[in-house]
Amino acid sequence: MKSHYQVLIIGGGTAGIMTAAQLLAKDKKLDVAIIEPSETHYYQPAWTLVGAGAYDFNKTAKRMADVMPSGVDWVKDKAMGFDPMQNSVSTESNGDITYDFLVVAPGLVMEPGMIKGLPEALELGVACSNYTDPEHTWNTIKNFKGGNALFTQPTTPIKCGGAPQKIAYLAADYFRKNGLKNKANVIFATPGTVIFGVKEIRETLMKVIDRYGIHFKPFYSPKEIDVENRIVHFSHTAPEENRCVINEDNELGEQMVGDVDISVPFDMLHLAPPQAAPRFVRDSVLSNDAGWLDVDHHSMQHNTYPNIFGLGDVAALPTAKTGAAVRKQVPVVVENIMKLMNHKPADNHSYNGYSSCPLVTGYGKMTLAEFDYNNNFIPDPKLKRMLVFNSDKEHWRLWMLKKHGLPYLYWNKMLKGKNV
Q: Give me the active site residues, please.
A: 160, 357
Cβ burial of 311 (10 Å; 0-12, 13-18, 19+) is buried
Residues 305/313, Cβ–Cβ less than 8 Å: no
CA distance 258 to 281: 39
Cβ burial of 95 (10 Å; 0-12, 13-18, 19+) is exposed
Biggest CA-to-CA distance, the chain: 70
| Pairing outcome for strands 127-128 and 268-271 | parallel
Torsion sign over Cα 56, 60, 63, 69: positive
3-state per-residue secondary structure call for the chain: CCCEEEEEEECCCHHHHHHHHHHHHHCCCCCEEEECCCCEEECHHHHHHHCCCCCCHHHHEEEHHHHCCCCCEEECCCEEEEEHHHCEEEECCCCEEEEEEEEECCCCEECHHHCECHHHHHHCCCEECCCCCHHHHHHHHHCCCCEEEEEECCCCCCECCCHHHHHHHHHHHHHHHCCCCCCEEEEEECCCCCCCCCHHHHHHHHHHHHHHCCEEECCEEEEEEECCCCEEEEEECCCHHHCCCCCCCCCCCCEEECCCEEEEECCEEEECCCEECCHHHHCCCCECCCCCECECCCCCEECCCCCEEECHHHECCCCCECHHHHHHHHHHHHHHHHHHHCCCCCCCCCCCCCEEEEEEEECCEEEEEEECCCCCECCCHHHHHHHCCCCCCCEHHHHHHHHHHHHHHHHHCHHHCCCC
Torsion sign over Cα 43, 48, 49, 50: positive
